[in-house]
Structure 1
């Protein structure tokens, strides 16, 4: 008889499925629910509802794309909260608004369920190699309970503060990430329009210390014209929108990130499911078609 803890996934997309592989390597069992009813592998059973997953699992891990998906999977008679016992642990790795995170925390508290907001920083390559950075908000006791899961999926866990802090830190990080990519895209656009050799330009940027390893990876993708989704544009634009809403509530002026949000809205229209580095391709196309 197995004594392994079971992790119940709510959402089993590109990131969650990779987390599941690393959790299984660490000795956990997995079950999952996805709204499409599709997915799964030889070692993950798919169940018909979030409540069924919660009833089966020792720990519930949520990985859904936005506030609406979170609400649909958490609440109501078939939601995960309906299936969780008192004292249960729910790890929310989704990138969502601070308001949605707070609503889930409040609902969990009413049921005496520990809810940890723990979005992750990193894309599919980091999920593959268990090199994600977990951005967690919760108590020290909750961190200790979640540690074996976090250690299996990531290289580092940052305890951002009390519940809700992880969701806020994720918006900070993704806002900076988006703004950095936009600066790279604009610089490349100028270089190309000014007549610099394309291969030389892309290769030169890859050698520059001022450009992060993450953005160097995006430059390589753009040079090859391969925008296979590691972090889809639609999700990056969503995170920028959440950041803009959160900043407006606190009257924090963020004009640079507001402009980046508009650029990513344009890119989402052109390539919603491509990697968000498609913004580089959009800018290159603009200058290539300059009369």
Structure 2
């Protein structure tokens, strides 16, 4: 994302808890801030992309956090996947400091970030979206203004709810096929040409066949998002039994393989059924 912003001609300042990404960003031409407050003082538009609600609390509300900066006239955009309720709280706090705030979660993964083809789902004030549009266009291809603050996060959580459910259904399907002696390469090809096709089929099954569970999107993070979807359902007094069942399976995957890719959910089903889904090619 930093590379694409720099290539689009933006001056970029960065801060991170991880030294590796900072060194890469500096080598591309970015500058480094001391901490989130320092970064917010130096930039007109501040983008955050953080893993957990607790990280949001620290980066925004903690010592040397964004809210300790002079935010008058600044636009703060959070790309994290968190609860709309946290978005609304942050929005109010930044407005009180004279700044603007949007939630703008992402979809597309590391490959989409690198290629500049991310989907960006935005909630907030329309004028802020229009102001941020050149920044979004540098990083994404599928840009959506959803509506009021928190609505981008709501849509993203529904997307990740479907990711979890689809992956659980694929795990059941391919483990059952393996137990039945069906060639799962052939099953994959048939589904790819049939109405059972989905993006998750192509995202998950090739990784499982190669036994590649390197963390592109971890079980830990997906379980967090599915829990947030359940909390939203509770807030709106709607039962989502399919999500609850998939969330339970991801709770097991998180306990066993927290840092592995969400495709490692297959291993939970494999261990329960006594099979291993792998390619024979």
Q: TM-score, normalised by structure 2?
A: 0.91
Asked if 1:218 corresponds to 2:214, the answer is no
Q: Does 1:102 align with 2:88?
A: yes
Greater alpha carbon shift after TM alignment, 26-35 vs 109-118: 26-35
Which of 125, 136, 147 lines up with 2:133 in the alignment? 147
Per-residue deviation at 1:288?
Answer: 3.0
Deviation at residue 48 of structure 1 after TM alignment: 2.2
The alignment status of 1:201 with 2:184, answered yes or no, reads no
Q: For residue 37 of structure 1, report the CA deviation from its aligned partner.
A: 4.8
- Asked if structure 1 preserves the Cα contact closer than 8 Å seen for 2:208 and 2:266, the reply is yes
- Tell me which of 162, 179, 185 is aligned to 2:165: 179
Name the counterpart of 2:274: 288
2:171/2:265 contact within 8 Å kept: yes
When normalised by structure 1's length, the TM-score is 0.88
User: 1:8 — aligned with what?
Assistant: none
Displacement over 4 Å in runs of 4+: none
Number of aligned residue pairs: give it.
272
Q: CA deviation at 1:77?
A: 4.5
SS in structure 2 opposite 1:39? Answer: helix
Take 1:244 and 1:55, find their aligned partners in 2: how far apart are those partners?
A: 37
1:199–1:76 Cα change, 3 Å: closer
- How much has 1:36 moved relative to structure 2? 4.2
* 1:263 to 2:249 alignment: yes
Which string of whole-angstrom CA distances, capped at 9 and with x for unpartnered residues, describes residues 225-245 of structure 1?
112222111111110011111
Contact kept, 8 Å, 1:94 with 1:119, in 2: the verdict is yes
How far apart, in 2, do the equivalents of 1:239 and 1:122 lie?
A: 16
2:7 is equivalent to residue 25 of structure 1:
yes
Superimposed CA distance per residue, residues 121-163 of structure 1 (whole angstroms, 9 cap, x where no aligned partner)? 2211111111111000012211111101110111011111111
Q: Secondary structure at the match of 1:136?
A: strand
* Alignment deviations for residues 217-262 of structure 1 (CA, whole Å, 9 cap, x no partner): 2111111111222211111111001111111121111000000001
Q: Structure 1 regions of 5+ residues with no counterpart?
A: 1-18
Structure 2: 5+ residue runs without aligned partners? 277-281
Q: Which residue of 2 aligns with 1:237?
A: 223
